[in-house]
Amino acid sequence: MGALGRPRRSCLAVPGSSIKMLGKAQGLPADQVFLDLEDAVAPLAKPDARKNIVAALNDGGWGNKVRVVRVNDLTTPWTYRDVIEVVEGAGANLDAIMLPKVQNAAQVQWLDLLLTQIEKTIGLPVGGIGIEAQIENAAGLVNVDEIAAASPRVETIIFGPADFMASINMKSLVVGQLIPEYPADPYHYILMRILMAARMHDLQAIDGPFLQIRDVDAFTEVAQRSAALGFDGKWVLHPGQIDAANEVYSPAQADYDHAEMILDAYEYYTSEKGGKLGAVMLGDEMIDEASRKMALVIAGKGRAAGM
């Protein structure tokens, strides 16, 4: 229950309408799966998809994966039934609900209250099921701070680039890739805005999908940009993208080793035995308390990845 802080380097999308893909996803090395009731499922297939998802969660076999279900957004008629059917049916085997196209804090609070009622009704610990908020339009981005603060259940803020690009009329059809006519990175502001809100509230920041699923090099290039800023992971739409995501959102081995070395050295030099020093030389590099904090980020990511 709840998965705040668990690795989410690769978040695999699995359409709830495909029993075959729900079965296959269990054995794949993604950190997270999200079983989709939203845009990967046709309107007429949604009732059956809810049932497939409940069965797949209860059947088990998901290992250590963070188990998430994406419900439909609150402008549709489907959201309440999605939440009630999935959580009543499989709440004990579910870590979080993903709410797409979130526009404000009230929408997150609606989900929080509904989850609380279901948890009380079926006897689950109140607050155990987390919320992942997908930012996919201008309202969501402008209100991202209040969305991040809306409930203690919120665990991640996710960038939904495809819907976002459509909603702001971006002149491109290639999700996440740089636009030749624009001399800079058109996603930089959006990613940083999401990252600041996530960090302010100790949440994970997750990058969205890359649709050219056969081009793993292009996926890696896009992922490297958000990873460099500090994002914790990215959606994967195909098994072929999983290894790349796990690698890109883990530190390089040399950086991890160096970070652990900084932490060891700094612990020694600041101790009584090491001379109670505040700033010291490690080879050609000066390290101080700020270096320790930076090293702790890289070491923390590496440890979480089992390095």
**Count, residues in the chain:** 307
Restricted to residues 141-200, the positions that interact with Mg ion (CB under 5 A) are 160, 163
Applying CB under 6 A, does 160 fall inside the site for ligand GLV?
A: yes
163 is in an annotated binding site: yes
Of 55, 19, 14, nearest to 33 (Cα)? 14
Nearer to ligand GLV, 132 or 136 (CB): 136
From residue 201, how far is each of 116, 147, 157, 293 by CA, in Å?
21, 10, 10, 18
Distance separating alpha carbons of residues 81 and 88, to the nearest angstrom: 10
Applying CB under 6 A, does 132 fall inside the site for ligand GLV?
A: no
Applying CB under 6 A, does 208 fall inside the site for ligand GLV?
A: yes
Nearer to ligand GLV, 193 or 292 (CB): 193
The 8-class DSSP code of residue 241 comes to: G
**CB count in 10 Å sphere of residue 277:** 14
Applying CB under 6 A, does 161 fall inside the site for ligand GLV?
A: yes
Applying CB under 6 A, does 36 fall inside the site for ligand GLV?
A: no
Q: Which range, of 10-18, 136-144, 276-284, 299-307, touches Mg ion by CB under 5 A?
A: 136-144
Contacts of 127 (CB under 8 A, 6+ apart): 2, 116, 119, 152, 153
Nearer to Mg ion, 30 or 40 (CB): 40
Of 127, 130, 131, 111, nearest to 119 (Cα)? 127
Applying CB under 6 A, does 162 fall inside the site for ligand GLV?
A: yes
**Site residues (vs Mg ion, CB under 5 A):** 136, 160, 163
**Site residues (vs ligand GLV, CB under 6 A):** 100, 136, 160-163, 208-209
**Annotated binding-site ranges for Mg(2+):** 136, 163
